[in-house]
Amino acid sequence: MKTIVRWTAKGAAVGGGLFFALSMYRSIASGGPSMSHLNPIGVMTVIGVTVGALVGPLIGTIFARRSVLTDEQK
């Protein structure tokens, strides 16, 4: 798998998982049943997946450049 696709998938998984967890926390903290907040949870999860997929390759590039810089300094 190409590096950019791998970082996109990792970013989407982390972003989606993080936004899903935060949405579930807010749903539970509100005191109501989670099923009544299913639409906002889904929307926030989709936003998290999208943001994560966009930011993932940027973070991967930063890590790659840093590893090249540390390899050159050795």
Per-residue burial over 49-66, b = 16 or more CB atoms within 10 Å of its CB, e = otherwise: bebbbebbbeebeeeeee
- The predicted model gives 14-39 an average pLDDT of 88
pLDDT category of residue 71 using cuts at 50, 70 and 90: low
Asked if 6 contacts 53 with a C-beta cutoff of 8 angstroms, the reply is no
pLDDT-derived band of residue 73, with 50, 70 and 90 as boundaries? Answer: low
Predicted confidence at residue 6, as pLDDT, reads 93
Mean pLDDT of the chain: 88
Q: For residue range 41-64, what is the model confidence (pLDDT) as tens digits? A: 899 999 999 999 999 999 999 988
